[in-house]
Amino acid sequence: MALANEHGFGLWTALCTIQLGRALAESGQEADAIAHLEQGIKASRARGIGADLTFGTLAKVYGRTIRGPEGLRLIGEDLAVVADIGQHSTEPELHRIKGELLLLQDPSNPAEAERCFRTAIEKAQRHAAKSWELRATTSLERLLTKQRRRDEARTMLAEIYDWFTEGFDTADLKDAKALLDELS
């Protein structure tokens, strides 16, 4: 970020600010994460860079704070932009994030969240996006387990997990493996 600032590379400064926001979000520093993400998004939009998973990251952080409704609004906007420009590669993850946010907002009404997870899985399958499919299936598995639908959850998760032949040290595959072990 310092080099980008020093040389006047405004877009790179914006993108570095977004990445810093993501890192802060992962470390649980929501307030700082939100500030950096909002600043980076604003600066990148000013330079003609539009929607991507940055809104999803910001929406997730909003969901962990009292700004959950704003997170759902952002996901809705991002899904609309993705549909308008035909950039469907991020769509599965956006639907998954929407489902997670809905559960955070109202855990007593899981039906819409389940629809979001199933939509995310279907869209990931359509594009052969196995990583997005794994994430969405893991989210659905957690929901189904809470609903005492363990067999259905385990079958779905095992099917996508068994597809992978490498990368077992990644966070998503470690998470899926832990859940499968828990269900066994």
Q: Return mean pLDDT, the chain.
A: 90
pLDDT in tens, 12-62: 999 899 999 989 998 999 999 999 999 998 888 888 776 555 778 888 889
Q: Considering the entire predicted model, what is its pTM?
A: 0.85
**Domains present along the chain, CATH in parentheses:** 89-183 (1.25.40)
DSSP per position, the chain: -HHHHHTT-HHHHHHHHHHHHHHHHHTT-HHHHHHHHHHHHHHHHHTT---SHHHHHHHHHHHTTTTHHHHHHHHHHHHHHHHHHT-GGGHHHHHHHHHHHHHHH-TT--HHHHHHHHHHHHHHHHTT-HHHHHHHHHHHHHHHHHTT-HHHHHHHHHHHHTT--S-TTSHHHHHHHHHHHHH-
117-167: pLDDT as tens digits: 999 999 999 999 999 999 999 999 999 999 999 899 899 999 999 999 999
pLDDT of amino acid 51 = 52
